[in-house]
Amino acid sequence: MGQTFSLGRLAGIRVGVNWSVLVILALLTLGLAEGRFPEAHPGDPAWLYWVVGLVTAAVFLLSLLAHEISHALVARHHGVKADSITLWLLGGVARLRSEAPDPRAELRIAGSGPLVSLILGALFAGLAALVRAAAGPGLAAEALAWLAGINILLALFNVLPAAPLDGGRLLRAAVWWRTGDPVRATVVASTAGRVLGWGLVALGLYLVLLGAGFGGVWLVLIGWFLAAAATLEGGQARLRELLSGVSVREAMSPDPVTAPASATVEDFLESPAFRYRHSAFPVAGDDGVPVGLVTLHDALRVPAGNRGTTRLADMMLPVEEIPTAAPGDPLDRLLPQLQAGPSRRALVMENDRLAGIVSSSDISRITAWLTSGTPWAPRP
């Protein structure tokens, strides 16, 4: 889920918002200002309902952010880099650069989000009780009570044992611990996700037929998303299983052409040295060590008038944000990092020397060969 605009960094993690958040913000505000608040406390000015509704909806989105940031921070504690967090229509997504190293870490990473939501629910419930005791029933207490309920509901929904929900990660951790096979664990969790997703779609359609309207449509939307995400996750697990036994060396494009960090964007675009079929090139410093990656797409985004003065070092993707691997590493273990990385590419290093580059097209080539029935001949 791509970012529409960035909110900056929180605890060193990029936080972004997708345009669809405006939809959920508007729907929540509308439902509170025109529904729950006037019904619970009639007689207040309409503008007050809308102001309190908007503030309450915004606080809920901050609660979603707290849920996702907890995943990222616990993942970081276990050595899993968190690239970014994006809020969107159906919640939030924390993009992790790799997988948990073991089932225990998976359990802690997955469980941190629902735990934070439960804590927030209890906190808002306590504040609602204090406000009622101090000032009596009112919009403030009603808003806090709603925030308590929605956070507890969020926690309970997320622990359902189905991918891509947090409960699916908990299920994956349990199966991984019992079987020792993370791929099989992912397949089990993704199957449960598809069952839950299509079940919600069926329930939503049934409610629509009964006249539930918006509630039924919302269930259909959530169920469709869960089923689609679980199907994608299951496909990735089967791909990892297919690639097991294949080394990075067998998939990489060896000895890639590098671009000097001191070169300008104009040099890069016009030099015959870079007119290859590739669309991305490692960028090397004066000592030949890779310092980043530049893509043709990013280079073309530099305004034409600035290309003669903008160096590749000024606009490249830094090497710290690019996955790296050794030639002998298993390809299936690199795959999650490759898919989560912003460039969808990984640099292959051998004795501090650039030995190759792996891209999504390299994965597709290997996959096509392995599924063709042709005997696989490993690269020496």
Residue 377 has pLDDT above 60, yes or no: no
Rounded to whole angstroms, the Cα distance separating 4 from 17 reads: 6
Spatial distance between the Cα atoms of 38 and 49, rounded to a whole number of angstroms: 7
Question: CA-CA distance, 83 to 33, in Å (whole number)?
Answer: 36
pLDDT in tens, 264-289: 999 999 888 777 667 889 999 988 88
Residue 195's pLDDT is 95
Model confidence over 193-216: pLDDT tens digits?
999 999 999 999 999 888 877 778
Percent of the chain surpassing pLDDT 70: 95
Mean pLDDT value across residues 22-35: 89
**Chain segment 72-111, per-residue pLDDT in tens:** 999 988 888 777 788 876 677 777 777 888 999 999 999 9
Distance CA(146)–CA(132), nearest Å, equals: 14
Quickly count: other Cβ atoms within 10 Å of residue 36's Cβ: 17
Beta bridge partners of 86: 16, 93
Which tokens in the block code for residue 63? 């609660």
pLDDT reported for residue 197: 92
Mean pLDDT value of segment 119-142:
92
Helices (H), ranges, the chain: 21-31, 37-40, 46-77, 103-135, 139-158, 166-179, 182-209, 214-243, 248-251, 265-270, 296-301, 312-315, 331-340, 360-370
Considering only CA atoms, which of 224, 104, 226 is closest in space to residue 165? Answer: 226
Q: How many CB atoms lie within 10 A of CB 161?
A: 18
Task: Give pLDDT tens digits for 171-195.
Answer: 999 999 999 988 889 999 999 999 9
pLDDT per residue as tens digits for the range 242-252: 888 889 998 89
Per-residue pLDDT tens digits for 219-229: 898 899 889 88
Active site residue 68: yes
Q: What is the pLDDT of residue 126?
A: 96
Residue 361 tokens read as 């097209």
Burial degree of 142 (CB within 10 A; 0-12, 13-18, 19+): buried
Q: Rounded to 5 degrees, what are φ and ψ at 244?
A: -60, 135
Helix (H, G, I), strand (E, B) or coil at 379: coil
Catalytic-role residue among 34, 68, 142, 250: 68
The pLDDT value given to residue 54: 95
Is the model's pLDDT at 53 over the cut of 90?
yes
Does 28 have pLDDT greater than 80?
A: yes
pLDDT digits (tens, 9 = 90+) for 331-363: 888 887 787 777 889 999 998 889 999 988 888
Predicted model pTM: 0.79
Confidence band, pLDDT 50/70/90 cuts, at residue 1: low
To 10 degrees, what angle do helices 103-135 and 139-158 make?
A: 160
Q: What are phi and psi of 357, to 5 degrees?
A: -140, 140
Q: Which residues, in sequence order, are bridge partners of residue 5?
A: 17
